[in-house]
Chains A and B, each alone.
Chain A
Amino acid sequence: MNAVWAVFQKDLGIYLKSYPAYLAAAVFLAVTGYFFYWELNYFSLVCYRVASSPELQGEGLNLTDAVLSTFFMNTAVVLLLVLPMVSMRSFAEERKLGTLETLLTYPASDAAVLSGKFISVWCVALIMVAPTAIFILISRSVGGVFDLRVVATAYTGLFLLCGAFAALGILTSVMTESQLVSVVLSFGFLVLFWMIGWGAEILGHQPAAALQALSIFEHFRNFTKGIVHVRDVVYFALFTLFFLIITKERLGTRRWAR
């Protein structure tokens, strides 16, 4: 446990001292902020049209559904682009610097080193995501009324999503010495898992259901609607665990290889 904590603190400290992490966070906030503003603006426009047209009753106009759900889905997409840039460092950078050899010859298990690294990437992702709450607070301060239960479930979903993305990103970081290749692989895999259920209906009911069961998109969408299904939580937990186990195995194999 001491080693997990030591690796976590070391990695988090390095992230917080490196400007690319701040750049990634700034880009993330700027893009998600733009999305939030755009959704809110569009919703205002729709409300205005509805208010100026008496034949429209304004039914179905819901700030939470119209703005928040879309905002959180968009945030997940931005995370899909940005998180590989955070996770790419974890092992690829250690390998590039030559510090991986030192790290793996300490009297600590591979699992402890991996856990420390995973928690630090997850933490950085959460630190990036946390300030998005400001958008909601600002909207509330000017009269926007959101369903706070949906806000809570959506952030729970983002919490789990960040863990899953971090686990997959760390795996690609172990697979290669190049940070660029790690980013590309990670992004590719995440897009695949995001889109895997799209248009699957053409394959028939059962294959579509199977592919949708693997889709991050399908499982995350429920959280943005204020629904927390056990199966969605289990999906993210298993997704994360699965990629961490593969990473640990891969780490061992690479050590033995050379």
Chain B
Amino acid sequence: MIKVENVSKNFGKTKALDSVSFEVLRGEVVGILGPNGAGKTTLIRILTGFFPPSEGKVLIDGLDLSKDLRAVQRLIGYLPESAPLYKEMTPHEIITFSARMKGVDSALLKRDVERTLEICGIASVRNCLVGTLSKGFRQRTALGAALVGSPRILILDEPTSGLDPEQIIEIRDLIRNLSGDRTVILSTHILHEAAQLTERVLILQGGRLLASDRLENLREALSSSQDILASIAGPSWQIVSCISGIPLVTEVRLVTEALEDGKPAQYLIRTSDPDLVCAEISKRLVESGYRLAELKRCVPTLEEIYLKSVRRSAFQKLVVSPAD
């Protein structure tokens, strides 16, 4: 559906995007993650045709963005960051305006606008001025403006920024329901949002694409250190000595002391084969009479994935295309 090939964007001497390439399949929901200044908004603006790339090519539904700009823009519904709206207009007027700008057939326009107002849950405030609405309703209105005309691609830039927790949940539910068979590209810096809403993430840093993969795959790839976390009660030096003797264990480290005698302490065990070592640890500890409270593999949290990914040099190898 979307194919980005070696796209770069320069603003004077600043390189906002540097040879970014990826593909988004039809119906896929993709998140763009990255710190401020990573190039997320620049990438989104290129995809929406707001400005062209300095280098590279963008193909959307087989159409070249530089050659068929209007045709490509007809396929896209765009919600810019901070959901800008005209405060003197009502949600009904804004969505009608958006539909007309998208060239929705006048015979279908009224029905499409009404349907969008219903889907976005703003029918009750359809005739209120946007300036008088809550942030949640405004966000829904902006989302409605993007959605009207049934675009096949939805591009949402930080769709929940500035909302309170309840509104965030509402908007996320709405986006989840909207995705359906649409292709959705969602820029966010909230990692849990990306985990909840997207199937795949693109991680940008300094204008470069560091990772493009499913979150589970990134987790798997980033847990390559094969760490094991064990909670064991007993004398620490004896436990360390016991575990260190297991073949394939490369390092054993006490990470958290026991709070009181008889309570378990936490140990980090580094190995090249965690499955084999886990079984052996259980066996040896039971044989030695130590109480094993917990034994688990270390799975990186979303935050760890993100932080590890943005340390670009270590994860350069993670740059893979979805076709891979």
What residues make up the interface of A, taking CB atoms closer than 8 Å to B? 2-3, 5-7, 9-10, 13-14, 17-18, 97-99, 101-109, 255-258
Segment at the A interface, from B98-106, B246-254, B277-285, B296-304: B98-106
Residue among B48, B80, B93, B102 making CB contact with A13, cutoff 8 Å = B93
11 A-B pairs in the complex with CB atoms less than 8 angstroms apart: A3-B103, A7-B101, A14-B86, A98-B84, A102-B145, A105-B50, A106-B102, A107-B102, A108-B103, A109-B70, A255-B50
Residue among B11, B49, B81, B88 making CB contact with A14, cutoff 8 Å = B88
The residues of B that contact A5 with a CB separation of less than 8 Å are: 100
| Chain B, residue nearest A107 (CB) | B73
Interface residues in B146-189 by Cβ distance below 8 A to A read none
What residues make up the interface of B, taking CB atoms closer than 8 Å to A? 11, 45, 48-52, 70-71, 73-74, 76, 78, 80-82, 84-89, 93, 97-98, 100-103, 145
With A103-B101, A105-B49 known, 4 other A-B pairs at CB within 8 A are A13-B88, A102-B84, A107-B73, A257-B11
The residues of A that contact B45 with a CB separation of less than 8 Å are: 101
A3 touches B84 (CB 8 A): no
With contact pairs A97-B84, A97-B86, A98-B82 given, residues A256 and B52 touching in the complex (Cβ less than 8 Å) = yes
The residues of B that contact A106 with a CB separation of less than 8 Å are: 73, 98, 101-102
How long is the Cα–Cα vector from A5 to B98 in the complex, in angstroms?
12
| Chain A, residue nearest B101 (CB) | A106
How long is the Cα–Cα vector from A6 to B45 in the complex, in angstroms?
23
Residue among A14, A102, A107 making CB contact with B89, cutoff 8 Å = A14
A101 touches B11 (CB 8 A): no
With contact pairs A256-B51, A258-B51 given, residues A101 and B89 touching in the complex (Cβ less than 8 Å) = no
Residue among A17, A99, A104 making CB contact with B84, cutoff 8 Å = A99
Residue among B52, B78, B88, B103 making CB contact with A105, cutoff 8 Å = B78
**Most B-side CB within 10 Å, residue of A9, A10, A14:** A10
In the complex, how many angstroms separate the beta carbon of B46 from the nearest chain A beta carbon?
11
In the complex, how many angstroms separate the beta carbon of B63 from the nearest chain A beta carbon?
12
How long is the Cα–Cα vector from A252 to B154 in the complex, in angstroms?
24
The residues of B that contact A9 with a CB separation of less than 8 Å are: 97
The residues of A that contact B145 with a CB separation of less than 8 Å are: 102
How long is the Cα–Cα vector from A108 to B73 in the complex, in angstroms?
9
**Most B-side CB within 10 Å, residue of A2, A13, A97, A107:** A107
A107 touches B80 (CB 8 A): no
**Most B-side CB within 10 Å, residue of A13, A97, A99, A105:** A105
How long is the Cα–Cα vector from A258 to B12 in the complex, in angstroms?
10
| Chain B, residue nearest A254 (CB) | B51
A107 touches B97 (CB 8 A): no
Residue among B49, B80, B103 making CB contact with A102, cutoff 8 Å = B80
Residue among A6, A18, A101, A257 making CB contact with B88, cutoff 8 Å = A18
With contact pairs A10-B97, A97-B84 given, residues A107 and B52 touching in the complex (Cβ less than 8 Å) = no
Closest 10 CB pairs of A and B: A98-B84, A6-B100, A107-B73, A106-B101, A17-B88, A105-B48, A107-B74, A99-B84, A107-B70, A14-B88
